[in-house]
Amino acid sequence: MYILAPSILAADFGNLRKEIETVSEAGAQYIHIDVMDGMFVPSISFGMPVIQSVRSCTDKVFDVHMMVEEPGRYAADLKAAGADLLCVHQEACRHLDRTINQIKELGMKVGVALNPATPVETLSCVLDQVDMILLMSVNPGFGGQKFIPYTVDKIKKLRAMLNERGLQTDIQVDGGVGLGNVKELMEAGANVFVAGSAVYKQDAAANVKAFLKIFEEA
Ligand code: DX5
Ligand code: ZN
């Protein structure tokens, strides 16, 4: 199944509830929430109080992308704020296995994210423990960047690794994803697509529907 996860980083924060309702009502399955700490990535975005205050405006999956050093420190608070799926960076966790287990024990789904320059083979030992792998297709920290083309080969390699083990784990792609390249990413083996600027520029509802149409036609 193909899933669209609009990134609210590109939304108008002054109207955040409305912006989430719009993409939710248009049919997006996930709401992608980018938390940045100013350490793992240069920028700071928002944290638990913001997530908690928008939790009541939709029942869609809150897909929280932690661009934060040692994100395990916040797992329980994120669960309390309403996170359903918690994605942590391999590069930010000194004890990745422990962090994965901690998230599962709290009753959330777990994803592991990789920066563009981190090879997919690094997840070899934990592949069967995670619900989703997030391949960053830009260097994390900012919306509106250009898609890094070598990500396509990483998607293909990761899907082959998963198939070899009989796993149907979700592969999410984040950064520079739009209506013009999503098909190629689907063909490469990804099935969850984050889109920030491609959704929130101009008519967000129409953009969501255009993505969903491409998914339906596949
Ligand atoms: C970047 C964030 C992304 C970002 C994507 O560090 O993880 O989720 O919002 O934005 P676009 O789709 O505009 O590249
Ligand atoms: Zn993200």
Domain of 162: which CATH number?
3.20.20.70
How many whole angstroms from 140 Cα to the centroid of ligand 1? 7
Q: How many CB atoms sit inside 10 A of residue 73's CB?
A: 12
Quote the CA–CA distance of 4 and 126 in Å, as a whole number: 25
Q: Which of 34, 37, 63, 170 is catalytic?
A: 34
The residue whose two tokens read 């509830």 is: 17
Q: Are 34 and 7 in contact (CB under 8 A)?
A: yes
Q: What tens-digit pLDDT sequence spans the chain (218 residues)?
A: 999 999 999 999 999 999 999 999 999 999 999 999 999 999 999 999 999 999 999 999 999 999 999 999 999 999 999 999 999 999 999 999 999 999 999 999 999 999 999 999 999 999 999 999 999 999 999 999 999 999 999 999 999 999 999 999 999 999 999 999 999 999 999 999 999 999 999 999 999 999 999 999 99
Per the structure, the complete domain to which residue 196 belongs is given by 3-217
Amino acid at 37: D
Question: Of the candidates 108, 116, 64, which has an alpha carbon nearest to the alpha carbon of residue 90?
Answer: 116
Element (H, E) at 81: helix 75-81
Tokens at 29, concatenated = 């399955």
Amino acid at 144: G
Q: Is the ipTM of this complex over 0.90?
A: yes
Ligand 2 is an ion; its neighbours by CB within 5 Å are 34, 65, 174
Cα distances (Å, whole numbers) of residue 35 to 86, 104, 141, 142, 169 = 11, 19, 9, 11, 23
Pocket of ligand 1 (CB under 6 A): 7, 9-10, 32, 34, 65, 138, 140-145, 174-177, 194-198
In this structure, what are the phi and psi dihedrals at residue 146, rounded to the nearest 5 degrees? -85, 135
Quote the CA–CA distance of 126 and 110 in Å, as a whole number: 11
Tokens at 106, concatenated = 């709290």
Question: Of the candidates 218, 145, 147, which has an alpha carbon nearest to the alpha carbon of residue 186?
Answer: 218
Tokens at 92, concatenated = 């930010």
Question: How many structural domains is the chain composed of?
Answer: 1
pTM reported for the whole predicted model: 0.98
Is 12 a residue of the active site?
Answer: no
Element (H, E) at 25: helix 16-25
DSSP 123: G
